[in-house]
Amino acid sequence: MSMNSLKKYEDILEGISGGFFALDNQYRILYWNRAAEEGTKLLRDEVLGKHVFEVFPNAEHAEIGEMYRLAMKTRKFQTLESSYVDHRFEKWFDVRIYPNDGGISVFFQDITEQKREQRQKEMLMEVSHVINVAQHLDELCLNAGEQIAKFMDIPTKFVCIYRFDARSSLLHLMAPAITDVNINTEVLHQIVDVSTETIASQTTLKREVIITDELSKSTIAAQYLGEVEQHKLLSLISIPLIVQDEMQGILEVLSHKNVKYAGDDMQMLSVIANELSIGISRKRLMHEITVKNVELANEQKKTEEANETLKRFLATFSHELRAPLNAIVGFSDILTTDMEKIPKEKVKDFMKNINVSGRHLQALINDILDLSKIEAGRMELHVEAYPISYFVENVQRVLQAALDQKQVQLVFNIPDEVDNLVVDQMRFKQILVNLVSNAVKYSNKGGIVTINMRRIQYEIEVEVIDKGTGIKPEDMSRLFTAYRQGKNAYMADEGTGLGLMITKKLVELHGGKIWVESEWGKGSTFRFRIPIIVAGEIVESPDELTLIADTHRVVGSNGEQPLVLIIEDNPQAGQLVQAYLEEAGYKTEIARNGFEGLEKAKMLKPDVITLDMIMPVKDGWQVLKELKNHPLCAHIPIIIISITDDKKLGFSLGAVEYFVKPVSKNELLDTIGKISSRPLLRKKHPKVLVIDDDKSAAELVSVILESEGFDVMTALNGRRGIQLAMEEKPDLIILDLMMPDITGYTVAFQLKQEPETRNTPIIILTSHEVDEESKEQLQGFITGIMSKSRFTKRDLLREISTIEKMK
């Protein structure tokens, strides 16, 4: 062939849009046109004379390599669509192979853009589908991550999707769900800060795409560097997920491409990231709306119930008051004006009616007062040990008239092991009388009411059984609700419907619970349980409320009677405390002012000090502070007995207990007796997190627990509480229910979803009444519930002690 002909063919090959190269029969590249240079980014001088599989090593064992060999061997035309992938690029070509005398000629057309668009559409459709069908945000992220990994041809674990929380400045890893390696909390929940070196944090701060080969700064890749090398992953692409300038999260993907050539992957992922951003934003908004709707519905329901309760109260109570008042006024008018004309028998009947109506009126008012005391947290129990026979006799005596009228027999079944109860005498009797009187009221004439008592592990169970009319199923749910009586015809008796509600509250004040089983037409069984409390003394004459000192002599650390120093300026108050203590076997010494108290404490080194706060010369606060700072006195337990109620300050300065005058003898002796026998904590400094928007309440709990050796953290809102819980991993969480940002219900729910806090005990400490429905919602999420309005230091420590025993 002439030189002109060769030049002509060369001009043609250089002018075509597709790539062209020629191979000799040894697969060496003889010719490489300009379009081939542009399509592969490989210059002619770099490839001429080299073996084709040296230039394209990945092609040797791929389909296109097989086609080269087939064309060379059979001398037949071959065609295929082929992709080529290495660390530099990913290309798609329409390839045509022509055999010739000296080897083969290869024409290839770059169809990468068409393939990329097709792939993007397929990927976008798949990701859009999983976003739309996902029920929850975590499901959305997990499924989207799986689809992205499939298209990128990488393991699922190397596609990370984060949710960004702007309030706490935290990135929460939503995908993948890692189970085969222990990931630190700091990695799963990253703080977005300039000091955080992860690529995800940097992307959030810069709000722009980052492509890097620093794979150790990836959340997951750092845990699997061996696997990263095995899959030949060379770069990290991190894309911010932003909707309307609001950061939703981060998409972080590892790529086979070198950083220099990863732009194509980044462009494709950016399209997916846009769809993912919108999906995350929509799901988060829907979740927030759902939570708000639930909270709003709960508040609306409570408001409606409160209004309904008030209406029932006004209607019921006005009616119940009017009936006995009318009888009292009516009969007393007759007696006042016509006393001389009325026979003596009638006068006696009228007086009896006035007496009965007056007692009924008194009972109604007492019910209202009891309920208001309980609701306000002002009802305190005065717990003593009483023989069980006392309650049996009292119930029988109080209800004898009703028993005789209906000819009902009362049967008590009490085993010998239940010989005494440690309860509030008046309130426990009220519980029994309420339940037994109801059982008698709804028993059939001539029936039997049975009262069974038994010990079940560390509790006493009491059940009151009648075989009367029973309770309809529709009335069961409102049985312990205020101002509600069942709609059964037999329940048309007078009353406000407060009896069972008060009974329930009194049982709960004793630390117990109550429930009922009933079948309509066959009778009812009311059961309640209260914890067994061990006491050192039995009140033998509870009718006269006689307090008998413990007959066992107490012994101090040196084998002698313990010495108690009473610092009290009021002579009468000092003498009363002195009488309590000496009767129980303690030695006592009295100091009449703060200065004298300090001097006697240093000189006598008493076992316990009781301290008044309001004193001349030097007040109790200064005395307490100086005692705790003095090396000879710092270890001495101090019990505050004062007219002022400032528990928070007292506990913060080191007092072991705080009583507001007048102090109960039993409580004082019980506290002093237990000071030297406190159980050791399982950990040296257990960690407690208090989540409460009420700063004063949080501070009170903090000073109580810190004085007992706990390390206490506080969070003044729910979101901060969740963050601290996951970061610090506390041993116990004390949680308020009503907070302005997110409610305690939501906090408890979220904490139980996180592996770090799933098993952490949660005690609810709230000023709001927790109804049965709310308790059911919290079932499984919390360990205990306490009321802010009436909890004491002893209550809080006892609740924590209960958790310790459960572990």
Write the pLDDT tens digit of every residue in 573-585. 888 888 888 887 8
- Report d(CA 198, CA 189) in Å as an integer: 12
Mean pLDDT value across residues 197-205: 91
User: From residue 519, how far is each of 97, 146, 442 by CA, in Å?
Assistant: 90, 55, 13
Give the pLDDT confidence of 405-430 residue by residue, as tens digits.
889 999 999 998 888 888 888 789 88
**pLDDT score of 447 more than 50:** yes
The pLDDT tens digits of the residues spanning 678-715 come to 433 345 678 889 998 888 778 878 877 777 777 889 99
Q: How far apart are CA 679 and CA 674, in angstroms?
A: 10
How confident is the model at residue 212, as a pLDDT? 93
pLDDT digits (tens, 9 = 90+) for 249-290: 999 999 988 888 788 788 888 888 898 999 888 888 887 787
Could you give the C-alpha distances from 780 to 263, 408, 512, 729, in angstroms and in order? Answer: 50, 43, 19, 19
Instruction: Tell me what the mean pLDDT of segment 310-337 comes to.
Output: 75
pLDDT confidence band for 565 (50 / 70 / 90): very high
As given in the structure block, the two tokens for residue 586 are 């303690």
| Six-digit token string for 136 | 């929850």
Residue 667 and residue 640 in contact, taking contact as beta carbons nearer than 8 Å:
no
Winning range, highest mean pLDDT, from 108-117, 313-322, 646-655, 714-723: 714-723
The answer to whether 788 touches 738, Cβ cutoff 8 Å, is no
- Give the integer Cα–Cα distance in Å for 733 and 721: 9
State the pTM of this model: 0.37
How far apart CA 39 and CA 399 sit, in angstroms, is 103
Angle between helices 137-152 and 263-337 (to 10 degrees): 170
Q: Give the per-residue pLDDT at 806.
A: 41
| Apex 384 CA angle, 680 and 453, nearest 5 | 95
Burial of 462 (0-12, 13-18, 19+ CB in 10 A): buried
State the chain's maximal CA–CA distance in angstroms.
Answer: 158
According to the model, what pLDDT value does residue 680 have?
33
What is the SS3 string spanning 116-184? HHHHHHHHHHHHHHHHHHCCCHHHHHHHHHHHHHHHHCCCHHHEEEEEEECCCCEEEEEECCCCCCCCC
At a CB cut-off of 8 Å and minimum separation 6, what does 236 contact? Answer: 199, 210, 211, 212, 213, 214, 215, 217, 218, 221, 252, 253, 254, 255
- What is the distance in angstroms between the CA of the first residue and the CA of the last residue of the chain? 95
Strand pairing partners for 352? Answer: none
